[in-house]
C-alpha cells in the first residue's frame, strides 16, 4: 500500500537522489518509466525514496507492486510510459535482404524461418521493453543516441546459427537472435565462417 503524504517535492528529491547515486540493485523497473523533468525513473523506486523524505524511511518494495505505482502516478497527473507499448510502437523495420551477405537463396530461407519478419520484430520489442533502449550486442552502438529520432527503434537482428545450417525446417526462436548494428552485422558474416558475437567482441577489444 502506498502511504499518504507524498508530494511532488518528495518525488523530485527522490529523482535527484537517483541522478546522484543511480538505481539500487534490484530496484530497476521492468516495464514502466515515470517521466520527471524529461528523464525516466522507476516508479516504484521513486515512491520508496520519496517515503524517506516524507516519513523518514525507504518504503520496502514488497509493500506495493509496479502496477499500483503506475496507477498512483497516473491518477496524480504524472506521465508514465509502458515500455512494452512503446516498443511495439517504435521498433523499426530493417532492409534485411541488403544486410544478408549469404545470397538470395539463403535470404529466402531466412525469411521463411522467421515467419515474414514477425519473429525478428518480437525480439527487438522484447529487448526495447526490457531495457528501454536498443544497443548493439557487440559494440554497444545505439542508433537513437547517434541519429536522434531517425535512429529510434532501429537495430538489426542477427541469426546466431547460420541460416544455411537450419535445413529450412525449424522455425527460429526469439532467443536465437542477437541484435547488432549494421557494421557489426557485416563483420559477423565476413569471411568463410560466421563469427560469434563473443569472438567479434574480442576482435574489437584488440
Domain limits, the chain: 8-85, 91-205
DSSP 13: H
Residues 6+ apart with CB under 8 A from 101: 186, 189, 190
Residue-level pLDDT at 121: 85
Q: 134 and 144 in contact (C-beta within 8 Å)?
A: yes
Give the whole-angstrom CA distance, residue 153 versus residue 135: 10
Residue-level pLDDT at 98: 43
Model's pTM, two decimal places? 0.56
- How many CA atoms does the CB half-sphere of 36 hold within 13 Å? 21
Residue-level pLDDT at 100: 47
Residue-level pLDDT at 139: 96
Residue-level pLDDT at 92: 64
* Distance (Å) of CA 173 to CA 119, 159, 170, 184: 7, 10, 9, 21
Question: What is the CA 204 to chain-centroid distance, rounded?
Answer: 23
Low-confidence ranges of the chain (pLDDT < 70): 89, 92-117, 163-172
Residue-level pLDDT at 200: 95
Cell of 103: 545470397
Give the whole-angstrom CA distance, residue 149 versus residue 17: 29
Residue-level pLDDT at 115: 47
DSSP 29: -
Amino acid at each position: 500500500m502506498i502511504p499518504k503524504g507524498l508530494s511532488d517535492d518528495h518525488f523530485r528529491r527522490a529523482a535527484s537522489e537517483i541522478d546522484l547515486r543511480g538505481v539500487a540493485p534490484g530496484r530497476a523497473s521492468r516495464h514502466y518509466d515515470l517521466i520527471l523533468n524529461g528523464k525516466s525513473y522507476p516508479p516504484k523506486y521513486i515512491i520508496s525514496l520519496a517515503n524517506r523524505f516524507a516519513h523518514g524511511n525507504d518504503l520496502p518494495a514488497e509493500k506495493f507492486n509496479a502496477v499500483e505505482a503506475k496507477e498512483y502516478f497516473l491518477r496524480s497527473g504524472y506521465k508514465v510510459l509502458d515500455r512494452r507499448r512503446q516498443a511495439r510502437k517504435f521498433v523499426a523495420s530493417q532492409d534485411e535482404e541488403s544486410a544478408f551477405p549469404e545470397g538470395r537463396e539463403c535470404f529466402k530461407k531466412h525469411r521463411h524461418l522467421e515467419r515474414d519478419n514477425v519473429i525478428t520484430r518480437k525480439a527487438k520489442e522484447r529487448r526495447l521493453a526490457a531495457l528501454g533502449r536498443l544497443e548493439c550486442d557487440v559494440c554497444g552502438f545505439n542508433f537513437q543516441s547517434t541519429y536522434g529520432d531517425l535512429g529510434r527503434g532501429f537495430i538489426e537482428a542477427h541469426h546466431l546459427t547460420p541460416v544455411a545450417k537450419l535445413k529450412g525446417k525449424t522455425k527460429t526462436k526469439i532467443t536465437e537472435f542477437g541484435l547488432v548494428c549494421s557494421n557489426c552485422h557485416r563483420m559477423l558474416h565476413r569471411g568463410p565462417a560466421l563469427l560469434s558475437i563473443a569472438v567479434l567482441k574480442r576482435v574489437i577489444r584488440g
